Amino acid sequence: MAASKGFFTDTTLCIGCKACEVACKQWNQLPDDGFLFSGMSYDNTVHLGGSTWRHVAFVERPVPLNTQTDGAFSWLFSSDVCKHCARAGCLESCPTGAIIRTEFGSVYVQPDVCNGCGYCIVSCPFGVINRREEDGRAWKCTLCYDRLRDDLVPACAKACPTESIQFGDLDELRAHAKERVEQLHERGMPEAYLYGASADDQPGTEGLNAFFLLVDKPEVYNLPPDPVAPAKKVKDAWLAAGAAAAGMALAAVGAVFFGGHRA
């Protein structure tokens, strides 16, 4: 198995150009997501979806960043992507085996297997994977599985003009990201932190293979503050199901016992 690969998206380097969105569409030959004016700053793709595997969020805040020497305003950009979680909700919920863990540690949907059951869609704690109505199958970022097979960098990371999207071996990325946060703290940006860089940061997913450096609350970027792979809690439900099944059996037997022979 090859070393685990992933993305480190450093939002302090993002200029919101959306090259990643287009490079992704180009390489994967995805269709557009509709020509809808959202009114949400410069974000007209709004969210990740079946046909949008990279999405840049635009956050207009009435507070400055600490590195800005003046002003009472800041504009944050963040290129969102499938997180390829170490514990991936979609993967664990997929009933067909269409979603697999690859040799690069990424989570991949096999379009030739997926039957479009839609279960992964509600199982993703980040709202990443989605179906396109006319197509029926579930789609999301593949971490450019095809490119990785040939030692190529994923299309978005390659296109990114400012190295906001960094691709590489996960261990190295994590080490680098840690240094980067320290560097930013030194430079007077104490608000910088890593999102999902490790299992410690994000126990619910046991760490993201595509993690982020953020400068505001995750919610500001439409990211959950404490996501959890649903299967981590499923034991409770199975126990309840067991109890319900037992109760039902008991009720049935009871009904037979009490309702049976009296007549």
Partner 1 sequence: MGTSFGRGGATTFPGDLVNSDVIVIEGSNMAECHPVAFRWVMQARERGATIIHVDPRFTRTSAVANLHVPIRAGSDIAFLGGIIRYIIENERYFKEYVVNYTNAPAIIGDDFKDTEDLDGVFSGWDKKKGKYETRTWMYKDVDPEPAGGTRESEAGEKGQPIQRNPIQAEHTDETLQHPRCVFQILKKHYSRYTPELVEETCGIPRYLFLKVAEALCRNSGRERTGAFVYAVGWTQHTVGVQYIRSAAIIQLLLGNMGRPGGGIMALRGHASIQGSTDIPTLYNLLPGYLPMPKAKHDKDLATYLRLNTSPSGWWGEFPKYMISMLKAWYGDAATKENDWRYDYLPTLTGDHSHMNTVVDMADGAVKGYFVMGENPAVGSMNGALQRKGLRQLDWLVVRDFQLIETAEFWRDAPEIARGDVKTKDIKTEVFFFPGAAHTEKDGSFTNTQRMLQWHHKAVEPRGDSRSELDFIFKLGQRLKELYANEYGQIRNWPIRDMTWDYPEIGPLKEPSAEAVLHEINGYTVADRKPVEGYSSLKDDGSTACGCWIYSGCYRGGKNMTARRKPYWEQNHLAPEWAWVWPHNRRILYNRASADPNGAPWSERKKLVWWDEQKQEWTGLDQPDFIVKRGPSHRPSKEARGKETISGVDPFIMQADGKGWIYVATGLQDGPLPTHYEPQESIAKNPLYGQQCNPERMEWIRKDNPYHQPYDDPRFPYLITTYRLTEHHTAGGMSRWLSWLSELQPEMFCEISPELAEERGLKNGEWATIRTMRGEIETRVLVTRRMQPLRIKGKLVHQIGLPYHWSTKGLVRGDAANDLIGFVADPNVSIQESKAFTGNIEPGRKSKGRRHATSGRLVKKLPSREQDRDLPKVGHKPESKHGYKAEQTKEGNI
Partner 2 sequence: MSTTVRYKNSVERVYTDGRDIDTEAGDLTGEAADQRASGSTDKHLKEQMQVWRQAPGPRTGDPAYYNVPMLNEPVWEWAIPTYYYVGGLTGAALVLGAASQMGDAGGRKELIRRCHWIGLIGAGISGGLLIYDLGVPSRFFNMLRVFRPTSVMNMGAWILTGAGGTAFLAVVLRGRENRFGAAGEIAGYLAGMFGAGLATYTGVLTANTAVPVWQASRRVLPILFGTSAMSSVGALFELLGGKGEERRLTKIFGTAGQIAEFAASVAMEKQASVVPRVGRPLKKGLSGFVWRAAMTLTAAGLVLGLIPKPTRRRRLAAGIAGTLGSALMRASVEHIGTASARDARASFQQQRAGYGAAEIARQPNQ
Partner 3 sequence: MSDHNGSSAPVWPVLRQFAKGDLFALDGSTAGSSRTESLASRTKTADRVVGSVCPYCAVGCGQLVYVKDEKIIDIEGDPASPVSNGCLCPKGAATFQLVTGSHRVSDVLYRRPHGTEWEKIPLEQAMDMVAERVKRTRDENWEDRDKDGNPLRRTMAIAHLGGATLDNEENYLIKKLFTNLGIVQVENQARI
> How open is the CA angle 202-22-125, to the nearest 5 degrees?
25
- Could you give the CA distance from residue 129 to residue 174 in angstroms, rounded to a whole number? 24
Of 89 and 105, nearer to partner 2 (C-beta) is 89
- Residue 244 CB, shortest distance to partner 1, in Å, is 47
Q: Which does 68 bind (CB under 5 to 8 A by kind): partner 1, partner 2, partner 3, none?
A: partner 1
Cα–Cα distance between 11 and 15 in angstroms, integer? Answer: 8
Which residue's CB is nearer to partner 3, number 144 or number 181?
A: 144
Output the smallest distance, CB 181 to partner 2, in A.
Answer: 21
**Contacts to partner 3 from residues 88-127, by CB under 8 A:** 91-92, 97-98, 100-103, 108, 110, 112-113
Q: Which is closer to partner 1, CB of 49 or CB of 125?
A: 49
DSSP 62-103: SS--TT-SS-S-EEEEEEEE---BSS-HHHHH-SSS-EEE-T
- Is 17 a binding residue for partner 1 by CB under 8 A? The answer is yes
**Residue 61 in 3-state DSSP?**
strand
69 binds, among partner 1, partner 3, partner 2, none (CB under 5 to 8 A by kind): partner 1
Q: Which of 1, 70, 150, 200 binds partner 1 (CB under 8 A)?
A: 70
Binding mask 140-179 for partner 3 (x = CB under 8 A): ----xxxx-xx-x--x--xxxx------------------
Residues 153-172: x/- map of binding to partner 1 (CB under 8 A)? --------xxx---------
Interface residues with partner 3 (CB under 8 A) are: 17-19, 21-23, 25-27, 91-92, 97-98, 100-103, 108, 110, 112-113, 144-147, 149-150, 152, 155, 158-161
Interface residues with partner 1 (CB under 8 A) are: 13-19, 21-22, 25-26, 31-39, 41-42, 44-45, 60, 62, 67-71, 73-77, 161-163
